[in-house]
Chain A
Amino acid sequence: MEKISTPTGETVYTKTLPSGLCCFVLPKAQFLRTYGMLSTNYGSLDSKFGVPGAGSVDVPPGIAHFLEHKLFEEEDGNVFGRFAAWGASVNAFTSYTQTSYLFSTTENWEDCLLLLMEFVNNPFLTEENVEKEKGIIIQELQMYADHPSHRIHSLLLENMYSEHPIRLDIGGTEESVQQTTVQDLMRCYNTFYQPGNMALAVIGDVDPLQTFQLIEDNYPAWEQEAGPIERFYPTEPREVKQSWVEDRLPISRPRYLLGFKHEPIWEGKELLRQQIAMSLGMRLIAGRSSLNYEKLYEQDLITDSFSAYFSADPRYAYSVFGSETRDPDALHEALTGVINDLQASKVAEGDVERLKRQFYGAHLASYDSFEYSANRLISSYFRKIPYHSFLDVLQSVTAAEVQEALTEQLDWKRSTTAIIRPVNDHEQE
C-alpha cells in the first residue's frame, strides 16, 4: 500500500491487487456521502485491437459507449432498482480513452461498492436486449446532434484528423450503432474489462485498509484470458486534414473554433508539465485577465463563451480556442494577430506568476469535489501522470517554458478552423 499526502492535508492510499486492479481510497472525514468509481482504460479510441489467435479485429465505432449502456442490464431487469433500494444513485460515462461506472450514496456504501464491482463484471447481453438498446442510443445521438457546441467540436476534430479515431464521435453514428452485434460487444468486454486494465476509486469517510480488504475479498475473479492488450492506431499524418471547414445550423449567431494539432510526444511527468505550461499560455491568450479579452469583447468578436483548452494523451494532443461571435472571419484575423504577437514578444513573468496563484488555488479547491478527485486519480493512473506532483511542477514552470510551449505548439500550418453559421445568416446582416 502506498500513501501520498495531498496539498490539502489529506492522504490518498493506493494498492494494486494481485489481479492487477489498481485501487485508490481518499478518506474524507465528516463527509456523509461515499462515492465509488470503477473504470476501464478503454474508450472510443480503442476500436482495433489484438485478439489471441485471431490477429487483430476492427469493431464499429461507438462500441465502448454501447457496452457502457448494456452493462446496466441484468437477467432480471437493470441495476438501477438495486442501487435505489439503498437510496443510492448510479451512473456511467464514456470518453475517448476511458469508461467509468460510479455510484454515490449516504447509506450502505459497502453494499453499493460490492454491487458496482458485481454488475460491471457481469455482462448480460442477448440479441434482444442489444437490439432494444439501439433505439435509446440513437435518441441520445439525436439529442447531441441538436447541440451546436457538440456539432462544432465534431466538425473540428473530423477535419483536423484524417485517420485517428479521435475524429469520430464517442457514441459512433446511427449506422455504426445499428451494425453493432452481441459478438462485437463481448469481444470488447473480454479484452478490456480484465482487472489489469481497470482501476477503482473510493472517496468518503471510510477506512482505507478495510476498503482494500473488502475489494480484494469480493472483486469477481476474471475467468477469461488475461494479459497485455495490443491496441492498434492508424498512422496519422502530421498535417491537418483540412485547414478550414464550415457548416450551417439553425443557431442564433456564428460559432468559431480554432484547433491546433500537436504530436503526442509527452508521457508521465512531461505530459503534466506540458499540460500546465500550455494551460497557462492559453490563458494568457483567452483569459479574462488578458489584454485582448476586453478588446475582442468590446468589438463583439467574442462573448463570455470564449475559452481555450489543451487536451493531451500519449495517443493524441490538440489545443482549441473558441467562441460565439458576430463575425468568425474577423475573429480569426484578430486571434491570429494575438497569437502571433504573443509568440514574438516575451511572455511577461508577472502575468505567469499571477496565473500560477490562480492555478494553485483552483487545485486546492478541487479536492472538495468527489467526482473530480476520483476521476483525476483514475485518469492520471491510466495515463501515467504523477498528478500528486501538480503543485511542484506548477511552481517550477517558468515564463520561458510557457513562451516556448506557445511558440512551438501553436503552429498555423497545423491548424484547423471550424465555423458554423446560422442557416439564415444573410437575414441578420
Chain B
Amino acid sequence: MKFTQCELSEGVRLHLCETDKFKSLTCKVFIQQDLKEKEATSTALLPLLLRRGSQKFPSTLHIARESEDLYAAEFGSDILKVGERQILEFYFQMVDPSLLPQGEKLLERSLRTFWEIFTNPQGPGDRFLDSYFTQEKRTLEQDLKGLVNDKRSYALARFTAHMCAEEPFRIYKYGDLETLQQLENKTVYDHYQNLLWKHPLDIFCVGSNLDQAANLFAALIPSADRSVKLQKPVQVRVAKAHVVEETMDLNQTVLVMGYRTNRTYRDDDYYALLVGNGVLGGFPHSKLFMNVRERASLAYSVGSSIEGSKGLLTITAGISDDRREQAAEIINEQVRAIQAGQISHEELEQTKRGLISAMTSIHDNPTGIIDRNVIGIVEDELRSIDQVVEAISRVGHDDCVRVMQGIQLDTTYLLRPEQKEGARHGEN
C-alpha cells in the first residue's frame, strides 16, 4: 500500500495508492491552516454550509439524490485538529466503479460532483446563500452547546482549554460561541476562498484505475498562488502541576490527566514514546487497564493516548466519584513504575506487537490508509507504514523508560457530579 506523489501545481499534492483490493474508491482532500481563534469558527462553518447546496445541486435534497443515483456515493466534509493546525477535510467514497454498470462514466460524474459541491457553493457569487448562512450558524451554535451532551468529549475539551490556556492548542476544533455570534456571511466566504486558493492542498486517493481520477483532478484544479506559510506548534515545559475541578449533573466522574512529553513526531525517539504510552494505557494488557480496572475494579473505561504533534499524553478514566482519589493514586503509581524501569519483557513485546499489528491492519482499511498521513502532512514529513513498523520494532526497554522519565504531569481535570441535598445517586 504505497502512495506515489506528484505535484499538480504549486501547493497541490496528489497522493495515489493504486490497488484492486477494495470494493470502493476513496478520496480525501485536506486543506490545512494555523489554528487561530479568529478563524477556527469560520472554518467550522464550512462543512455545514457546503453540504447545503452548490450551484449545480442547489439544496441538500439535490445533493442527496445525486448521491443515491451514484449508488451510495458519499460526499462529506469535516474539521480535524492536529497539533496547532486546523484541517478542513473533504471526503468522497463510492463503490469501485468496475463493479457498477458504466462505471467509468459514473466515476467521472462522481468526481465532478465532489469538486462542484466543495468549491462552488450555492449563493450570489461573493457570499453564501443568506438563508443557509443563518441556518448553519444556528446549527453550529447548537453543536457547540451540545458538547455537554457527551460527557467524555466535554471533559476533554474543558481539560484542553485549561491545560493549554496560553497556547493555540486550547482552541476547540469547531471554534467557540462568542466568535460565532459575530460572524458575517462575507467574512466567512472570504476566509473560505482564501483557504481554497491560498493554502496547501493534499489529495489522497485509494482504489483501482486511478489514472482516470488523477487526470480529472489535474483538469479540475486550477493553479493558484498557494504560498501561505504555516507555523510550528508551540512547545511548553511544565512549571507547576495543577488540578481543576468542575461539576455537572451526571452519574460518573470523568478524570483526565495531561502530561507534557517533551517529544513530538519530529523527534527520533517519538516511537519510544508511542511504545511507552502503549505499556501505560494503550491496550487491555496495559498497566492502567490491568490495575485500575481488572485489579481494583474502579473503572470500566481507562486508557491513555498521544497527541504526536504537540507531544501530549492524556489519560482518561470514568470512575465513581467517591473513589476518585484512589483511582488517581493508582494511575500515578503506574506512571512511576514505568519511570522506575518496571516494564517486563512481556509487556514491552506485547505492546510493540500490538502497535505493529494495528499499524499493519491499516493496510486493510482505505480511509485508515489515508487518515494516518494527516500528521505527516502537518509535520511535513510523510512516513510509510513500513517505516513506522521498522521504527517501533527497534524500540528497546531503556528507550522507553528514558522517554517516559521525560513526561511531566501538567493538568489534572475532574468533571464531577454536583453534590446536591437528597442526591439522586450515591445514597443507596
Contact surface of A with B, Cβ cutoff 8 Å: 8, 29-33, 78, 80-81, 84-90, 104-107, 132-140, 142-143, 145-148, 249-253, 287-291, 293-294, 297-298, 300, 303-304, 324, 354-355, 357-362, 364-365, 367-368, 370, 423
Contact = CB atoms under 8 A, between A and B. Distances in A.
B350 A81 contact: yes
Given A288-B64, A357-B68, A253 B95 contact: no
16 contacts: A8-B23, A31-B21, A31-B364, A32-B364, A80-B284, A81-B285, A84-B284, A87-B358, A138-B320, A139-B252, A293-B61, A298-B131, A298-B135, A303-B142, A355-B68, A364-B99
Contacts of A106: 356-357, 360-361
B161 interface: no
Contacts of B299: 136, 139
A332 B19 CA distance: 48
A37 to B, nearest CB: 16
Interface stretch (B10-18, B228-236, B243-251): B243-251
Prevailing SS type, chain B contact patch:
helix
A136 B72 contact: no
Given A84-B284, A252-B146, 4 more contacts: A31-B364, A106-B357, A146-B250, A290-B61
B272 interface: no
B346 A85 contact: yes
Contact of A87 (B24, B60, B354): B354
Contacts of A368: 22-24, 366
B142 A84 contact: no
A307 B131 CA distance: 24
Interface of B: 19, 21-24, 59-61, 63-65, 67-73, 93-96, 99-100, 131, 135, 138-139, 142, 145-151, 248-252, 283-285, 289, 293-294, 297-301, 318-320, 346, 349-358, 360-361, 363-364, 366
Contacts of B319: 139
A300 B138 contact: yes
Q: Which of A84, A138, A357 has the most CB of B within 10 A?
A: A84
Contacts of A107: 353, 357
Given A8-B99, A250-B148, A365-B24, A139 B361 contact: no
A30 B21 CA distance: 6
Contacts of A289: 61, 64-65, 67-68
Contacts of A89: 283-284, 354, 357-358
Given A84-B283, A252-B142, A358-B68, A365 B357 contact: no
A139 B142 contact: no
6 closest A-B pairs by CB: A361-B71, A87-B353, A361-B72, A135-B297, A87-B357, A289-B64
A423 B135 contact: no
Contact of B354 (A33, A84, A140, A145): A84
Contacts of B353: 84-87, 107
B364 A251 contact: no
Contact of A294 (B23, B60, B285, B293): B60
A147 B152 CA distance: 10
Contact of B71 (A30, A252, A358): A358
Given A32-B361, A324-B146, A146 B70 contact: no
